[in-house]
Structure 1
């Protein structure tokens, strides 16, 4: 099969031919990939941040159709449309594996992660774990499902974790990126009021398009951003909670400053160091948390929510794995809006019209 692989750190993907995965474990699925998208983590893999053993096929955001199932799989069968799971072979015994479904994090004892330390979705076929894979309802397209596999799962859980109720204010720093524009929609469809904060013209435009109630340009500086947040939130002087998706050195400090006293800042971005002035902790009692990925149950709830309420994933489509270098070039230019997605199998996408996929 054709695959786009990382063969050496800090070098372009290599488009090559590799064997189709054949040795499925009892909980594995073999997926014929329909669409795969690029995530910031893919750049981190290519930079060697995770120490990935090379060669490794890129992309941990994929969706497609089940071709074959492992001996212990009962939840899926050949022909099912799915959003690929990321973790491979969780231990099954730690607290995060055994639940409850609002688990504190993900299993740290997994034996792999698709597209990060194991071969990923920039290929015609991919091996994934059925236990972390999610069925795709007929109403949801595989093009939308692919970026939801990481970006969607991550920001869905972030909106869940801040624990806000209808009418409360959520600020998102980095609101106009791949995760941010999805997060805005999740929050708005759950009745929250959203302040989008971004530092790019394209990001500000996408924040408005996604439905943010207020959009603020971070390039104005922290003092002005906080002033504008206070103007819209009134006496409570800040957002009830803030999600940080931008990895700029100043992003976490800005997020805390934009949050009301005793509020929560949820850190999703992964800079080498998260820099926050001490007075945000000590004098303003800002509670800082981190989060990543959904549990299987949370992922299922997200997909059901999307099928019922709709979501508009801003997709920049590239047709064929041969376009991998064009995709990376556009992403690295920093001018792209939303998610960069490769259509790997056009036939699966054409068939979706018969299913009535709306979103």
Structure 2
């Protein structure tokens, strides 16, 4: 039921900017909204897309810190996959020199979700954490953020992503049958916290290993069923976006692009997203 349509785009209002779309990052929440499986209920028809990057082509009154021509990235609740995106200036940040726009397109939602989830556990250098789907959009950023802070990260992923995880300082572990035994062997002195991006397997394994429920955070399952935490992204926070972009620019965080599709082939991009098993993000780019 996903189709391309033509809409009139209003000029930016007070405190808004209008951005010429360069690229947009897809996230699991996008296919859940598209399929009707999301807890986010939106009246149809829904304009899809939440992450974007591009260049500002118009600014509304009261916007003093951004200008026409600035390369920016950001996130809005819906409608980011369009030739022109109107957004509050408060939800965008500048793209640093050296960061391609298709990479910047995947920072805002996945990056801040990872940042906020990690911050919720108050970790310290030397802590040992488990991150599921550690090569995916949120998991990949969260893992690298934690490594940069001196945390020992064990990441679950398919075998094809293990070499990449090692290159980013993450100890890879295969998911699936036998996960409990593999995690116990990888963390003989115990696990400080677990961050789940994949679902019930990770949560049930963590609890079976004695990780306290308040030290398990999921964004992929119903936390209330297990009594664990459910900290995802809070309100868009431009200083956090600036910090994330700087970490991408200096190489601390690598954001792989698993696949690129032109905006006119957005349906194919969603189909690729829904197959899962990604390293990084699926991105749509301007035709």
What range describes the TM-score normalised by the shorter chain of this pair?
Answer: 0.7 to 0.9
1:300-319, aligned counterparts within 5 Å?
Answer: 300-319=242-261
User: Could you say which residue in structure 2 is the equivalent of 1:231?
Assistant: 185
Gaps of 5+ in 1: 1-10, 87-112, 282-286, 346-359
Q: Whole-Å Cα distance in 2 between the matches of residues 314 and 242 of structure 1?
A: 23
1:323 is the counterpart of 2:265: yes
CA 1:289/1:42 → structure 2, altered by over 3 Å: closer, same or farther? closer
Kept after mapping to 1: 8 A contact 2:18/2:58: yes
Once the two structures are TM-superposed, the CA of residue 296 in structure 1 deviates from its matched residue by: 2.8
Q: Whole-Å Cα distance in 1 between the matches of residues 261 and 179 of structure 2?
A: 40
Once the two structures are TM-superposed, the CA of residue 148 in structure 1 deviates from its matched residue by: 0.8
Q: Whole-Å Cα distance in 2 between the matches of residues 306 and 164 of structure 1?
A: 21
1:275 is the counterpart of 2:225: yes
Q: Give the secondary-structure state (helix, strand or coil) at the position aligned to 1:58.
A: coil
Q: Whole-Å Cα distance in 2 between the matches of residues 273 and 170 of structure 1?
A: 18
CA RMSD of aligned residues (A): 2.5
1:218 is the counterpart of 2:218: no
CA 1:242/1:146 → structure 2, altered by over 3 Å: closer, same or farther? same
Normalising by structure 2, what TM-score?
A: 0.87
Corresponding residue to 1:174 among 133, 152, 156: 133
1:36 is the counterpart of 2:24: yes
Once the two structures are TM-superposed, the CA of residue 245 in structure 1 deviates from its matched residue by: 0.9
Kept after mapping to 2: 8 A contact 1:253/1:275: no
Q: Give the secondary-structure state (helix, strand or coil) at the position aligned to 2:126.
A: coil
Q: Give the secondary-structure state (helix, strand or coil) at the position aligned to 1:252.
A: helix
Post-superposition Cα deviations, 1:130-153, rounded to whole Å, max 9, x if no partner, equal 112111111322111111111111
The count of corresponding residues between Structure 1 and Structure 2 is 284
Larger Rg: 1
1:24-63, aligned counterparts within 5 Å?
Answer: 24-48=12-36, 49=38, 50-63=40-53
CA 1:299/1:252 → structure 2, altered by over 3 Å: closer, same or farther? same
User: Could you say which residue in structure 2 is the equivalent of 1:128?
Assistant: 87
Q: Give the secondary-structure state (helix, strand or coil) at the position aligned to 1:302.
A: helix
CA 1:263/1:226 → structure 2, altered by over 3 Å: closer, same or farther? farther
Once the two structures are TM-superposed, the CA of residue 320 in structure 1 deviates from its matched residue by: 2.0
Post-superposition Cα deviations, 1:290-342, rounded to whole Å, max 9, x if no partner, equal 23245333222222233234422121343421221221222223354321111
Post-superposition Cα deviations, 1:329-358, rounded to whole Å, max 9, x if no partner, equal 22223354321111216xxxxxxxxxxxxx
1:16 is the counterpart of 2:12: no
Q: Give the secondary-structure state (helix, strand or coil) at the position aligned to 2:131.
A: strand
Corresponding residue to 1:292 among 233, 241, 246: 233
User: Could you say which residue in structure 1 is the equivalent of 2:60?
Assistant: 70
Q: Whole-Å Cα distance in 1 between the matches of residues 222 and 184 of structure 2?
A: 30
User: Could you say which residue in structure 2 is the equivalent of 1:150?
Assistant: 109
Q: Give the secondary-structure state (helix, strand or coil) at the position aligned to 2:75.
A: coil
User: Could you say which residue in structure 2 is the equivalent of 1:195?
Assistant: 154
Q: Whole-Å Cα distance in 2 between the matches of residues 262 and 321 of structure 1?
A: 41
Gaps of 5+ in 2: none
Q: Give the secondary-structure state (helix, strand or coil) at the position aligned to 1:16.
A: coil
